[in-house]
Amino acid sequence: MVDILITGGAGFIGSTFVRAALSGELPGLAGARITVLDKLTYSGNRANLAPVADHPGWRLVTGDIADGDLVDTLMRGQDAVVHFAAETHVDRSIHGGGEFVRTNVLGTQVLLESAVRHRVDRFVHVSTDEVYGSIDLGSWDESQPVAPNSPYSASKAGSDLLALAYHRTHGLAVSVTRCSNNYGPYQFPEKMVPLFVTNLLDGRPVPLYGDGRQVRDWLHVSDHCRGVALVLAGGHPGAVYNIGGGTELTNMELTRRLLRACGVGPDRIEHVADRPGHDRRYSVDWTRIRTELGYRPQVPFDAGLAATVDWYRSHRSWWEPLRVAA
């Protein structure tokens, strides 16, 4: 039986991974014993784990990944670490980058040091395509140097480099994943899809940055978690794996789809000033994870988006209390 420490396991992506692992939906994780470490800040939510609250295979520890003593206590006896915990919202990082550096860089370093000390077998560091910067044409493969443009993405790029350095220096079996934009149930309503959906369900306008022509690749959170599980089970130590969804849309195109799904017209769009340093286009080449590990997205975008809108429509009790914090 495998013991896994999952950081940020009460957040959007981490909780999806925990629920799927405990439900037997992820490759190689049947019967795993899971310890979730989460600080339960504004975006970490016990309610995200309510569907598995009675499952005997896991426990939740409330705490900070930068707390070396706590991390050392929890790391003892673990076979693997899946590191989701991070400050992730670009706008928040623009207004104040200190917490992003503390959590994303220093917190990751604390985890890596402890993993080396306790001889953990596998460490998957979950990152983002935003570390590559912006690309006008084509797609980034994993050999592309990092060129981040926001305090958030710079802090994630720093943590990526630390993780890879701990592999080279200490032999820690680290793999790094870099995903495209996630969407799905339980996403905190500061991100585009849940913010726009909940606004539309409440009769509010949706704030679209600039001209809306920024391009993103969209990845259902369950596909992302499946990719992370494949990397945990078979990824090469020291390797980076891009995880994409295969659906590139401008923000305007996505907005129009959300308007249609909510049964409202374009009069709900409110154009707002673009964010500083807004990257124009992200696009990852995920050939490596496809050819090496057999990854394929399984959720068609239109079906996934419709199901996501329906989930927010039927789960007001989950998101309404969070709007104050968003």
Cα→Cα distances 219→82, 231, 314, Å: 19, 17, 22
Instruction: Assess contact for 178 and 141: CB atoms under 8 A.
Output: no
Active-site positions read: 129-130, 152
d(CA 143, CA 192): 29
> Count of CB atoms within 10 A of residue 16's CB?
25
d(CA 43, CA 196): 17
Q: Which of 140, 170, 168 is nearest to 153 (CA)?
A: 140
d(CA 36, CA 201): 32
Q: Residues 248, 251, 256, 260: what is their CA dihedral angle, to the nearest 10 degrees?
A: 70
Cα→Cα distances 166→85, 111, 241, 268, 319, Å: 18, 11, 17, 48, 39
